[in-house]
Amino acid sequence: MIARPRRNGDGDLNARELPIASDQTRRRFPHAANPPRHLFNFAMSSPIELNTIPEAVEAIARGEVIIVIDAEDRENEGDFICAAEKASVETINFILGGRGQLCAPLLPDLCKKLELTPVVAQNNAPLQTAFLTPIDIATARTGITAAERSETIRRLADDDVSVDDFVRPGHVYPLLAKEGGVLRRAGHTEAAVDLARMAGLQPVGVLCEILNESGDRASRDDLAKLARERNLKIISIEHLIAHRRVSEKLISRSATSTLPTHYGDFQIIVYKVEYEAQEPIALVFGDVTAPGPAPLVRMHSSCFTGDLVSSLRCDCGDQLHMALEMISHEGRGVLVYLPQEGRGIGLAQKIRAYALQDNGLDTVEANHALGFKADMRDYGIGLQILKDLGLSEVRLLTNNPKKTKAFNLRGFDLKVVDQVPIVSTVNKHNQRYLETKRKKMGHQLPPMS
């Protein structure tokens, strides 16, 4: 077993006094050859060399710890990750050297079986990490030791696990992963579950964020050095998405027909999304896979008030009809209609936000007052639809450069080659809304007069 590092008089870990693991531990746990001396005094500038996803999956299957990094425009962090059923005492002791929060990602069915509840009723954390009430194995004396936390985590991965096996609160935080994994949410929580499942193990993972000696997130250079020195596999969530996207998907076509409109005849395709009740729609005009310039694509989030009853508070309805007209005029293109009302907060919350705007808040401030980010939308399902339609390059109809960047970063092998503006008419009811989108959300709109 690896001894824990001592702390100096200031309470800081003393890298020079870190003990060396035994030869037996080196052979059994190559990832834990030494205590986490590599978490301190980072200094390098060479580029990251990532392992392949199959290499990482094989390492997980062997019980090794790997490093998983996410997008730079997301958490921009690296986590230690392993499979729960392989979480030995030595492994947990090594992972704790990451200095972050030790967590055990799991799926909703296990969460329900164990009656695990969220730590808060409304999750307004920036990335919606779904923390559940922390637990300890029922036989634990304190629950804090590496051995007790190892037992707690490994029990989560047993087929016959029951609610009575644990006490709460404890020292291991279960995390609720989304069904569909990183294809639904590009987070470490989902990556841990996906990797365990892909390794043929129970879909329960272990993760811990990796911090540097100052307590900040370890940089990508830090993580690359750590992986090289400890012979750890290192992958990105973006590559995991890309790998899964090649071999599996969450959508399937459930119905299709011709749809005559004021803008010409479209093909309407209704999709079924695995694990969800939502039914996104693709409106396809012309042959979008024929040779030629990349087709126009509009990724449109549903807006009952704007799309159906022509509300003047937003520009959604105008953009919907403008997009259909532009696609028709060009001769080919796709409009994907996603059920993401109110920038992802839902219709009722959107109307509550309207009420707050009536009292002086702008659209961003109203979202924040309700406990939401300015924009809660996710385009993973929409990107899968575009891939299902055979597209690899698109010209995206949007005023939002962040959406364009997100498309190119998601790992779906789908490139936005041009951002095409779609600017509607300003009126007295939506002027402040549009100005807020321009100033606070980065939308490329002309100044409101």
% residues pLDDT > 70 (the chain): 86
CB 86 within 8 A of CB 98: no
Q: Which residues contact 16 (CB under 8 A, 6 or more apart)?
A: none
Sort 93 into a burial class: Cβ within 10 Å, 0-12 / 13-18 / 19+: buried
Task: Give pLDDT, residue 185.
Answer: 87
What is the distance between the alpha carbons of residues 443 and 449, in angstroms, rounded to a whole number? 16
Q: Where do the CATH 3.90.870.10 domains begin and end in the chain?
A: 15-245
Domain 249-340+377-440 fold is Rossmann fold (3.40.50)
When pLDDT is averaged across residues 77-97 and rounded to a whole number, the result is: 96
| Residue whose token pair is 């609610």 | 163
Set 74, 217, 377, 432: catalytic member: 377
Question: What CA–CA distance (Å, rounded) separates 208 from 82?
Answer: 10
For position 74, what pLDDT does the model report?
56
Closest-CA residue to 278 (of 382, 190, 173):
382
**What pLDDT, on the 0 to 100 scale, is given for residue 21?**
35
Question: Could you tell me the pLDDT band of residue 410, with boundaries at 50, 70 and 90?
Answer: low
Per the structure block, which two tokens stand in for 306? 């704007």
Is residue 375 flagged as an active site residue?
A: yes
Torsion sign (Cα): 31, 36, 39, 45: negative
- The CATH number corresponding to 15-245 among 3.10.129.10, 3.40.50.2000, 3.30.420.80, 3.90.870.10 equals 3.90.870.10
Identity at 411, one-letter amino acid code = G
Instruction: For residue range 289-339, list pLDDT tens digits in order.
Output: 999 999 999 999 999 999 999 999 999 999 999 999 999 999 999 999 999
Asked if omega into 169 is within 30° of 0 (cis), the reply is yes
Q: What is the pLDDT of residues 41-71, one digit of tens each?
A: 333 334 578 999 999 999 999 999 999 998 7
Q: What are the strands, taking DSSP E only, across 291-349? A: 296-301, 333-338
DSSP H/E element including 12: none
**238 membership: H or E segment, kind and range:** helix 237-247
pTM of full prediction above 0.85: no
Poorest-pLDDT segment among 151-160, 224-233, 439-448: 439-448
Q: Band of the pLDDT at 37, cuts 50, 70, 90?
A: very low
Rounded Cα–Cα distance for residues 440 and 163 (Å): 46
Q: Quick check: is 378 catalytic?
A: no
Mean pLDDT of 419-436: 89
Rounded Cα–Cα distance for residues 336 and 320 (Å): 10
pLDDT in tens, 222-260: 999 999 999 999 999 989 987 886 677 789 999 999 999
Residue tagged 């990556």 (tokens): 191
The angle subtended at Cα 413 by Cα 411 and Cα 418, nearest 5°, is: 105
- Average pLDDT over the chain, rounded to whole? 85
- Sequence ranges of the chain with CATH classification 3.40.50.10990: 249-340+377-440
Q: What are phi and psi of 351, to 5 degrees?
A: -65, -35
Set 230, 375, 378, 410: catalytic member: 375
CA 391 – CA 293 distance, rounded (Å)? 12
